[in-house]
A = this chain, B = another copy of it.
Amino acid sequence: MQKLPKVIDRLAEKFAALPGIGPRSAQRLVFYLLHNPESELEDFAAKLVALKKETCLCSICHQISDHDPCSVCEDTERDRKLLCVVEQPLDLLALERSEQYHGLYHVLHGCIDPLNHVSPDELYLADLVKRLDGVEELILATNPTMEGEATAMYITQLIKQKGLADKLKITRIGHGLPIGADIEYADGLTLMRALEGRREV
């Protein structure tokens, strides 16, 4: 029986290890790449190698950046009395795209998730507590999931335990119906949160 050259399987394994790519799609990607010129593959390879070399984590907020401190942390126009906690670097970018927030950020790089063995020690929580000096409002913008809620609750407890809660207003990002949604199809928990978060018009 005919067998494929080993390098095809080895490259397919690399693709299949990425999230959302199964072994069949991985094989199809490799066959697609076989039709590319060698220079194109070398370019792809160079960018893979450059990924870690040309990026770093901001030592203040832990966002992925190409310089330290990152452009948000070094921006003197930003409101340093506001600090927003997010789970992932992409969450920070989503908030930035909304152009509604002008404070600083803190990226946890995950959330407390006992089922996947992520304990609070593995998040950038110790640095967060050290950054609260001068901050007036801490916005907890972790995801509205079980793990995100638990993380928000853990941070609140942690700050209270350290006796830092008196001078600090801790808020949770608003939950409710997303714009364009249909009440008819909304789940019960979202509706409950939407009712809790109702505001006078």
Which residues of A are interface residues toward B (Cβ below 8 A)? 1-8, 10-11, 14, 18-20, 25, 27-34, 38, 41-55, 63-66, 70-72, 88-90, 92-93, 96-97, 99
A29 touches B38 (CB 8 A): no
B44 touches A5 (CB 8 A): no
**A38 CB, min distance to chain B CBs, angstroms:** 5
| Distance of A50 Cα from B44 Cα, bound (Å) | 12
Interface CB pairs A-B, < 8 A, 29: A1-B96, A1-B99, A2-B70, A2-B92, A4-B93, A5-B54, A5-B55, A5-B64, A7-B54, A7-B55, A8-B51, A8-B55, A8-B64, A10-B50, A11-B50, A14-B44, A18-B29, A18-B32, A18-B33, A19-B29, A20-B25, A28-B90, A33-B48, A33-B51, A38-B52, A42-B48, A44-B48, A45-B45, A45-B46
Chain B, residue nearest A27 (CB): B90
**A89 CB, min distance to chain B CBs, angstroms:** 7
This chain: copies in complex? 2
Chain B, residue nearest A49 (CB): B45
Chain B, residue nearest A35 (CB): B109
Identify A30's interface contact among B4, B8, B51, CB under 8 A: B51
Task: Given A1-B96, A19-B29, A55-B5, check contact A11 B47 (CB 8 Å).
Answer: yes
A5 touches B65 (CB 8 A): yes
Chain B, residue nearest A52 (CB): B38
Chain B residues whose CB sits within 8 angstroms of the CB of A46 once the complex forms: 45
Chain B residues whose CB sits within 8 angstroms of the CB of A52 once the complex forms: 34, 38, 41
| Distance of A165 Cα from B93 Cα, bound (Å) | 65
A6 touches B66 (CB 8 A): yes
